[in-house]
Homo-oligomer: A and B are copies of this chain.
């Protein structure tokens, strides 16, 4: 499974001294960007500039445990479903092995010029398939 680590910054905190939950939603996008860089092999900023956008159309997220200032949140990224134009990704956040959130996020591929949906490009589909649960490949956690 692809994982990335996100440091909780001062700007992520709320008045209760814990990460404000829309900021944890933003962590999903940061993990998505890191997944492109680290797994897909093309930085998402480049993909975006070339005209492919991935707006989120559906989000389910459970906030399991408070996240604190300075925590290093390890986020696991697993592709759950690849449709014609959409992709559903599961994100699981951990701090020191303790689960802090899990989320399912569905994005649609969109041509930025027209803002119309477009099929998942082949170069991306292959990489997404390799990140599905049970996929053979480099990114499986060791047992």
Contact = CB atoms under 8 A, between A and B. Distances in A.
Nearest to A53: B16
Q: Count copies of this chain in the complex.
A: 4
Nearest to A21: B56
B10 A15 contact: yes
B45 A69 contact: yes
Contact of A112 (B16, B69, B112, B115): B16
Interface residues of A, number: 42
Contact of A59 (B11, B18, B21): B21
Interface in A34-74: 43-46, 48-49, 53, 55-64, 66, 68-70
Contacts of A121: none
